Structure 1
Amino acid sequence: MREQERMRPLAGSLTVLTMLAVTACGALGTAETGEVIDAAGQRQWVSCTGEETPAVVLVHGIGDRANSSYWRATQQELAGKHRTCRYDRPGTGNSPAPSRSGRDGQDLAAELDTVVNRADADDPVIVVAHSFGGYPALVYAQHHRDRVAGLVLVEAVEPDYGLRAGVGVDHWDEVGQADEDLDLAAVQRQARQVDSLEDLPLTVLRRGQGASPQWKQAQESLTHLSSASVLRVAQQAGHEVPAEEPEAVSAAIAALPSP
């Protein structure tokens, strides 16, 4: 997420800004192999590797430098285990800016659906979402249950905890979002409306280093969304789990409970 000088302390030794800012949702990278595809009226860059099933789709977070390059290490870790697709949402990374402003959670879910179909047109996939990426992943999982074999939420922002608290700002326009130009209030509201995923296999993966009590509680709350959920901890990582401990993401995928 956006590097910000302002830091809002929580009750505890760290700040949520420290947890979610800077590299939380992507980093600038070199040119990569992929292609720009049509995505529900937008254009977005997608990179897929491997052929093994079930396929995995990786959803990045938000920030002024957000893009899917943050998933590189995880995609490499999953090589030989899963066909894996990551993508830059419109207005991030290698994707052009969106054609309209104010896209919401339903729009993000529709754009995610194009990547799911690119990963596997026939069978359900595993959706793995980091940080803010948990919002569109939740909306998608609720409305496209037949396309999701399992969900892994990696240090995902719990909707009641809230994105503004996560980045330590008071107003939505202070949340860095590259050129996405989303209606963030609507995205969060729609994610908050997801109150049950029934028995969808769900793994919640949280950081092992520096999490405040409030953040830990929010992560525990995410497990209540499914009757088939587990909570795991990436012991050596901070919020940047996909880059710092990609093997923990791979293990979390493997730990998904059976439906």
Structure 2
Amino acid sequence: MAGGGEGLDNMAALQKSLSRTNRVCSYDRLGEGASDQPAAGTLQTMDDTGALLTGVLDRLAGDRPVVLAGHSLGGYIAARYAPGHTDRVKGLVLLDATIPHLTRDMNRTVPADATGVPAQVRDGAIAVNEGQNPEQFVIADGPVRSAGHIPVEILKHESQYAEVPEYGPALEKMWAGGQREWQRISTRSSLTTAKGSGHYIHTDRPDLALKAVQKVAHRAAHQH
């Protein structure tokens, strides 16, 4: 599941590598890639994008178990979806997934009186969260729900905010805290920093992304 503003080609290399050993499917959400646009003026919620994902899984996997692997917004959607669908989602891989309370944490990290680049980073992120994105999708803050004991691999970037004057370290701390929050999704979750990577972990460290998905798929196939 690709991030916001990305079509299928963004994760095609990872899909190709995985397809040597696993059955792999990907899709463009509404507003992304080759898919239809969402209806003009209507915001998409997690219920909407979740219903679409359910339809995709019904069509492609039937009753068979699946592992969801998502980058950025795709990871956020996978992590929000899994707890309500543990009958079929048997594992998760989150590649620098959008953090669970991004609006709250952005407002806490970059104060209201900030100007210049930090203010742009904060305001840009919050606008996107409110639905100003190609999917017209509201990226809502909310607690992490449990998906029980499914295997979960969480990879976070090493450096993403180095260019943000003054608030770079605080933003990195914010992001790391959000990744730790995602660990609550399962008793079998593991968080790793992908050395040498920025936000696009699957591009910067394809070896680590591949290994994480293979590990979770193997565990999901053999869990009791």
Q: Which residue of structure 1 aligns with residue 25 of structure 2?
A: 85
2:149 equivalent to 1:199: yes
Counterpart AA for 1:94: A
Shift of residue 154, structure 1, vs aligned partner: 0.6
Distance 1:139 1:210, change over 3 A: closer
Distance 1:71 1:171 in 2: 24
Distance 1:96 1:62 in 2: 15
Report percent identity of matched pairs.
30
Contact 2:80 2:144 (C-alpha < 8 Å) held by counterparts = yes
2:59 equivalent to 1:106: no
Q: Which residue of structure 2 aligns with residue 208 of structure 1?
A: 158
* Structure 1: segments with no counterpart, 5+ residues: 1-58
Q: Which residue of structure 2 aligns with residue 233 of structure 1?
A: 193
TM-score by length of 1: 0.66
TM-score by length of 2: 0.76
2:97 to 148, 152, 156: 156
Q: Which residue of structure 2 aligns with residue 95 of structure 1?
A: 35
Distance 1:125 1:134 in 2: 15
Distance 2:4 2:160 in 1: 21
Contact 1:91 1:97 (C-alpha < 8 Å) held by counterparts = yes
Could you list the per-position Cα deviations for residues 80-114 of structure 1 after superposition, in whole angstroms to 9, with x for gaps in the alignment?
11111111111111111123611200111111112
Distance 2:189 2:11 in 1: 23
Distance 1:163 1:71, change over 3 A: farther
Q: Which residue of structure 2 aligns with residue 115 of structure 1?
A: 56
Bigger fraction of residues in strand = 1
* Structure 2: segments with no counterpart, 5+ residues: 108-119, 162-171
Q: Which secondary structure does the structure 2 equivalent of 1:247 belong to?
A: helix
Q: Which secondary structure does the structure 2 equivalent of 1:85 belong to?
A: coil
Contact 1:74 1:247 (C-alpha < 8 Å) held by counterparts = no
Q: Which residue of structure 1 aligns with residue 177 of structure 2?
A: 217
Count of residues in correspondence between the two structures? 193
Contact 1:223 1:230 (C-alpha < 8 Å) held by counterparts = yes
Shift of residue 73, structure 1, vs aligned partner: 1.4
